[in-house]
Chain A
Amino acid sequence: MIVSALLAVPLAAGVLAAALPWRRAVGWAMALADAVVLGLGIALAAQASRHHVASGLDGALRADALSAFMVVVIGVISLLASIQSIRYLEAEIARGEHGARHASLYSFLVQAFITSMLAAVLAANLGALWVAVEATTIATTFLVGHRRSDKALEASWKYVLICSVGIALAFLGTVLVYFAALHVPGHPTGASVLDWTSLVHASHHLDPAVVRLAMALLVLGYGTKVGLAPMHSWLPDAHSQAPAPVSALMSGVLLTVAFYALLRFKVVADGALGPGYTRTLFVIMGLASLLVAASLLLTQRDVKRMLAYHSIEHMGLIALGAAAGTTLAIAAVLLHILGHGLAKAVLFLASGEILLVEGTSEIDGIAALLARRPLLGGIFGFGLVALLGLPPFSLFVSELNMIRGELAVGLGWAAGLSLLAMAVIFAAVMAHGRHLLLGGGPDARPSATSRLVGIPLVGGLVACAAFGLSAWPLQSLLAAAARVVVR
């Protein structure tokens, strides 16, 4: 019941937005729909942390603790992004760049995007999960190209082509898993072969050679959508060219929704092969991503590109945490997914506001933001502090626990390398941030920041800090979700 409503609400809101001419009330209706998604997600999470598995649409949808947790993450970031979309679209219409029809299309695509992410995390069937992840690519392509500039077009071309190839490989991997499952005696046939629960049940009997090939293709394929090196090249372009609320959604949740798919397949592959194989794949790609981020962050000149490379870093950290694979490490990975999502969404939304009021997103073009716009500068500064993994924000706790998990399984060397990369990134981001926030800039009277921007973004940061100080509201949910992955 709740599960089916989770898909129906944002989809209905999107259709409504497409049908009505855009005005402020429509924008608020979208935000309301996403607030409902968050509310339903919390209700689902409350059920799931008591180990109740909800299902819907004749068993096609299934929500255990892991799914419920991802629904909450999607809900909270969608809410932030859709409130900010109101400001973005109004500014766009006021500048005369695009008309109200364009805004209607934007709202529809954003809600379709949110619906397909929800469908991905709620799908019981791994084939349906693939269809939903591919649908996110389709919904977001036009959002990346929304500004219709040359750069935006180039970015969306790269995005759709690279991600479609990646996802084609993931499909091949899924087909191979299906092939292996067909040869397990007593395994159900027909549509339920790819059901995650029955696959996990049969995982010990899957042919290891085929699963090894399948998992390599899956990690490469879904890894493209996660933005893991070496298939990350679309990410900085797409995230820097998309409208800020879309960047927030893509960076804050879409990447981790694709990682969620890998977590599901990890359980199946580990059953067939033991934990070593997936661990090796995750460690290689995680370290490669950290290396790419560390070597390219320093030279970035654009705020949004800097944030995009920061996403590659965090996806690398998450891959390393998942490689460790202990209950502690997986719970930390999930907390990191939430913390990174919140901090990154706040930063992308703040950078959208910076672009709006400053007219540029070049780091060199902005200085002394803190003196001139105290609230906006403060939000950006605290967002960076959160993203760098400093206390009291939850990323500090989750990074610490991921490293503890890595040490526990003998991945200390990888943890050491990741700390080294993080130190380089820390220095690079501090240099950029100091120029942007303090720097020597034109002296001007401090100006206020719109409440529409201030309240949600401060709320996002407060939530990120609160989960860092005490994860108790999430404790039982995280533990239950980690037990879904660690068996």
Chain B
Amino acid sequence: MISGSALDGVELAAGVVLAGAILALWRKDLRSLTSVLALQGIALAALAAILAATGGDVGLGVVAGVVLVTKGLVIPGLLARVVRADPGSRETAPLVNVPASLVAAAGLVILSYLVAGQLTALMPDPLTRLAPLGLATVLVGFFVLVTRRKAVSQIVGLLLVDNGVALLAFLLTAGVPLLVELGTSLDVLLVVVVLQVLATTMRARFGHVDLDQLRELHD
């Protein structure tokens, strides 16, 4: 059972992940969104490392390293490259403005606490009690995804969902089996590479990556 300063560390890291998601709603500057993702990645890696150290779990230690490299460094780096190609780009007109988004986020956090009650009922321990933070990150990620129009913001939304799922996996189960965890990290990395290539190609063709200007396909 985890306790003391290790638990403090886990709580801090989980809090940073959710705070990052809220920050992503608040900031319109695309460059700072990539820093937010890097911060979340580092927090997730730290959380996994703490769990690995307290449990003496070597596999989880490897996962912590992989998470640090993919979510903390490579993925934010790839996104930063897309942003750098278009300096000064901002999320100009999200479908829902920032104050309303923040109110919505508060609602989503409360919803997460309600839903996560089922999980805490099965195993009422300090880690499971943090599960609402992961769930809230997933929901806020969804919200970013459906209300933002820039390609980069949509990728950020997807990655927020993904980081939220990763946080839940660490809190509930101390990570899924090593092989699955590695496969998952690789898949997510490849998806971001694919999205980066697509965003770059779209910019080269259309001169912008505003997705609401892409409307050729509809019924």
A residues near B (Cβ < 8 Å) are 125, 127-128, 130-131, 134-135, 137-138, 141-142, 145, 148, 150-151, 153-158, 160-161, 164-165, 168-169, 171-172, 174-176, 178-180, 182-183, 190-191, 193-194, 207, 209-210, 212-213, 236-237, 240-241, 296, 299-300, 305
Contact = CB atoms under 8 A, between A and B. Distances in A.
Contacts of B165: 168, 171-172, 175
Contacts of A150: 205-206, 214, 216
A145 B161 contact: no
Contacts of A125: 177, 179-180
19 contacts: A130-B184, A134-B191, A137-B191, A138-B191, A138-B194, A141-B198, A145-B201, A150-B205, A160-B198, A164-B158, A171-B184, A176-B119, A178-B176, A193-B177, A194-B177, A210-B122, A213-B118, A213-B119, A305-B219
Interface in B40-54: none
B179 A191 contact: yes
Given A138-B187, A153-B205, A191 B177 contact: yes
B198 A145 contact: yes
B7 interface: no
A237 B218 CA distance: 8
A139 to B, nearest CB: 9
Interface string B5-48: 00000000000000000000000000000000000000000000
Nearest to B191: A164
A135 to B, nearest CB: 6
Q: Top 5 nearest A-B pairs by Cβ distance?
A: A127-B180, A131-B183, A191-B177, A209-B118, A134-B187
Nearest to A126: B180
B209 to A, nearest CB: 9
B217 A130 contact: no
Chain B at the A interface: SS class: helix
B154 interface: yes
A236 B216 CA distance: 13
Contacts of B168: 172, 175
Given A168-B161, A210-B118, A157 B173 contact: no
Interface of B: 115, 118-119, 121-123, 138, 142, 145, 151, 154-155, 158, 161-162, 165, 168-169, 172-173, 176-180, 183-184, 186-187, 190-191, 194-195, 198, 201-202, 205-206, 211, 214, 216-217, 219
A461 B166 CA distance: 46
Chain A at the B interface: SS class: helix
A156 B205 CA distance: 15
A175 B173 contact: yes
A180 B122 contact: yes
A428 to B, nearest CB: 13
A236 to B, nearest CB: 7
Contact of A157 (B151, B162, B183): B151
Contacts of B191: 134, 137-138, 160, 164
B178 A191 contact: yes
Given A150-B206, A191-B177, 7 more contacts: A172-B138, A175-B168, A176-B119, A194-B180, A209-B122, A241-B217, A305-B219
Nearest to A132: B183
Nearest to B119: A210
Given A141-B194, A145-B198, A175-B173, A131 B180 contact: yes
